[in-house]
Amino acid sequence: MKPLNQVQSRTAVLPFENIDTDRIIPARFLTTTGRAGLGRHAFNDWRYLADGTDNPDFPLNKDAARGCRILVAGRNFGCGSSREHAPWALLDYGIEAVISSEIADIFRSNALKNGLLAIVIDADAHRDLLANPGSELVIDIAEGSISKADGSKIEFSLDRFARHCLLNGVDQLGFLLDAEAEISAWESRRAADPWAMERAA
Amino acid sequence: MSPRTIIDKIWDAHQVRAESSETPAILFVDLHLIHEVTTPQAFSELRARRLRVRRPERVLATLDHSTPTLPATADGQRRYVSAEARQQVDQLEANCAEFGIELHGWNSEHRGIVHVIGPELGATQPGMTIVCGDSHTATHGAFGALAFGIGTTEVGHVLATQCLLQRKPKSMAIHVDGALRPGVSAKDLILHIIGRIGVGGGTGHVIEYRGEAIEALSMDERMTVCNMSIEAGARAGLIAPDQVTFDWLHGRPRAPRGADWQRALDAWHSLASDAGAHYDREVHVDASAVGTTISYGTHPGMVTPIAAAIPTARDAQEAKALAYMQFDGGQTLSGQKVDAVFVGSCTNSRLSDLREAAAVMRGRKVATGVRALIVPGSVQIKREAEAEGLDAIFRAAGAEWREAGCSMCIGMNGDIARPGQLVVSTSNRNFEGRQGPGVRTVLASPRVAAMAAVAGVITDPDTFQERAA
Ligand code: SF4
């Protein structure tokens, strides 16, 4: 994963609440065994009409939204399934950050592991961003702030480990692999533990 | 030591390294369930990094999502929806062979929906940490396990290290006091609960379901309840194990035996939350107030007692959902024409669910113009249902009796309805397009789904006899 410090872009807005992962990428596109090229199915059933052409009413298809890398979405974004295809599709589509007042746990965890910023802000600031598509924002990860064009700032908090990983491009699997000796030691200690009764074997 | 919840106890017992402000905990995973959809990229990562699966004996694989539910053709060909779906299945078979993982594939008597076969094999046990690249992993919480869904990157982490990096979630107790009224099912209860706390109501939390009404549930019913925890946004949902749990597990293929069983029981008995343990949030639900419940909108929090008029939209979001569903606020859904009925999914595809549906369909016919799909959760359940003659009841009624799998719950295998059609479904998600583009889903219990199939319209069980007569 590449280190990520800042995301700067105009915003595109999807004002709907509870945008679930089936909306972000419908299940019929999950038969892939790779992760590339999913962007063309991002929001597939909203984005395209039945004949495969762009749906002119879908907010992200408007000219003003094209090329925006920051998505502001209604409350409880990413609810539903654990499919990591959702953040893969958004990243491939060109989204680098999602901002909402509430983001579903698994989606958020998946997003951050892939370098897609998933940011939760308070309800007032969120309402304001929802009402103003096309806002020019600078998201600063180290600082935990979103700067608006008028110079005002919205603060957000990010788990320190997630922030560290984003800023330094840390590979979390590498981090776990480094703990191998500790894991092995724990396993052998546990062999004598009554809690270890279960046998996965 | 201060009083601990069952969540604290399982968490503490699996911490290889405790969390700090800088880093999450390293949590050991006892059982890792995998299926064909969310794993190929994880195995590719392993291969690219020349890593092995650290504890293959703790991984259990099955085929469920992309698998056809129509039987193979006479010459043995599986009827996959696409070459890609076939390739996904082939790839899991190859990955399991290469990395030494037990796969319940096409020839296994235990193939089925991942959350159905874990318990069925007795692999799901109290006190365990269980993960799967699938959000309905919470199902296993019914046994007093801490079980949650993870993404594909994390699937790779667990394959390579048998551990996960996790922050400890918050805890929520949902006390279901009193007793459910006769005829009210576990599905009605969990739909009611989600309606009450909302689809984001459990975000950041693990839910412990407690109280008399929960203790009175069978294991199948407990699985139905825990299964839908994610529909309230919760990481997991669980129920402390008790005699009902132990009786269910005893003698299952992977359950401990002999002296090990006794030792396991001793450990499992100490899992229940201590008196006075602290929860971050507590909710009380009056079981006697729960009626037959169905969904009317496009997320599982939009639910209503079947006899009641659906609420008028309070905001643009709800108006949009009602427009998609082609329902009007103030309308009662009973009497609404149905195009298809699906009885299946990890929520409601177990033997008791099939029995409920069969009790309704026995001696009756699926209404003209309605397609009814009955899909058992596992090969084992299919065999048991057939031994009881349930398949004959369904077939005689004009319903389709299929092979085990996820089927129309997610529609990845081609089992979908057509745009605009209304499906009464025993699955867990009524999201727009979940059962096919433009398809409208109403979530219900197996009994209500079966009644809709034979009546041809959504039917309140209280008026079913009159209608059918
Ligand atoms: S039955 Fe549905 S919810 Fe359950 S695992 Fe399969 S697709 Fe997921």
pLDDT (mean) for A45-65: 95
The whole-number pLDDT of residue B466 equals 65
Q: Does the C-beta of B46 come closer than 6 Å to ligand 1?
A: no
What is the full DSSP assignment across chain A? -----EEEEEEEEE--SS-BHHHHS-GGGTT-SS-TTGGGGTTHHHHB-TTSSB-TTSGGGSGGGTT--EEEE-SSBTBS---THHHHHHHHHT--EEEES-B-HHHHHHHHHTT-EEEE--HHHHHHHHH-TT-EEEEETTTTEEEETTS-EEE----HHHHHHHHHT--HHHHHHTTHHHHHHHHHHHTT-GGGG----
- Structurally, chain A folds into a number of domains equal to 2
Same domain, A127 and A101: yes
Q: A107 lies in a domain?
A: yes
**Chain A nearest C-alpha distance from B365 (Å):** 32
Same domain, A120 and A184: no
Same domain, A37 and A17: yes
Centroid of chain to Cα B44: 28
pLDDT (mean) for A105-119: 96
The whole-number pLDDT of residue A27 equals 94
**Chain B nearest C-alpha distance from A76 (Å):** 6
pLDDT (mean) for B372-400: 98
Task: Look at residues B459, B460, B454, B461 and name the one whose alpha carbon lies nearest to residue B371.
Answer: B454
Percent of chain B with pLDDT over 90: 98
Same domain, A19 and A43: yes
> Which of A23, A33, A175 should we substitute to test contact with B (largest number of B Cβ atoms within 10 Å)?
A33
Same domain, A63 and A76: yes
The whole-number pLDDT of residue A201 equals 40
Q: A159 lies in a domain?
A: yes
State the average pLDDT for chain A: 93
Query: Residues B110-122: pLDDT tens digits?
Result: 999 999 999 999 9
The whole-number pLDDT of residue A200 equals 40
Dihedral angle of Cα B11, B17, B19, B20, to the nearest 10 degrees: 160
Identify whether the C-beta of residue A162 lies closer than 8 Å to the C-beta of residue B21.
no
Q: Does the C-beta of B378 come closer than 6 Å to ligand 1?
A: no
Q: A66 lies in a domain?
A: yes
Residue A13 is part of a domain; what is its CATH number?
Answer: 3.20.19.10
Same domain, A86 and A177: no
Residue B468, pLDDT > 60, answer no
Same domain, A78 and A126: yes
Q: Which atom of ligand 1 is nearest to the CA of B345?
A: 1
Q: Give the Cα separation of B232 and B205 in Å (integer).
A: 10
Residue A189, pLDDT > 80, answer yes
The whole-number pLDDT of residue A2 equals 85
Q: Give the Cα separation of B206 and B132 in Å (integer).
A: 16
Q: A185 lies in a domain?
A: yes
The whole-number pLDDT of residue B92 equals 97
The whole-number pLDDT of residue B161 equals 98
**Chain A nearest C-alpha distance from B18 (Å):** 12
pLDDT (mean) for A77-88: 96
Out of A22, A176, A194, name the one closest to residue B26 (CB): A176
Does the pTM of the predicted model rise above 0.80? yes
Q: Does the C-beta of B360 come closer than 6 Å to ligand 1?
A: no
Cβ of A183 within 8 Å of Cβ of B317? The answer is no
Same domain, A116 and A200: no
Cβ of A20 within 8 Å of Cβ of B429? The answer is yes
Residue B237, pLDDT > 70, answer yes
Query: Residues B39-97: pLDDT tens digits?
Result: 999 999 999 999 999 999 999 999 999 999 999 999 999 999 999 999 999 999 999 99
Same domain, A96 and A191: no
Cβ of A113 within 8 Å of Cβ of B154? The answer is yes
Query: Residues B141-177: pLDDT tens digits?
Result: 999 999 999 999 999 999 999 999 999 999 999 999 9
Identify whether the C-beta of residue B336 lies closer than 8 Å to the C-beta of residue B444.
no
Same domain, A73 and A147: yes
Residue A195, pLDDT > 50, answer no
Out of A16, A27, A45, name the one closest to residue B410 (CB): A27
Same domain, A150 and A69: yes
ipTM: 0.93
Q: Give the Cα separation of B229 and B193 in Å (integer).
A: 9
> Which of A81, A160, A167 should we substitute to test contact with B (largest number of B Cβ atoms within 10 Å)?
A81
Q: How far is the CA of B15 from the centre of ligand 1 (A)?
A: 29
The whole-number pLDDT of residue B1 equals 79
Residue A151, pLDDT > 70, answer yes
Same domain, A71 and A110: yes
Query: Residues B413-465: pLDDT tens digits?
Result: 999 999 999 999 999 999 999 999 999 999 999 999 999 999 999 999 999 97
Q: A1 lies in a domain?
A: no
Q: A79 lies in a domain?
A: yes
Which range marks the domain in which residue A10 is found? 6-170
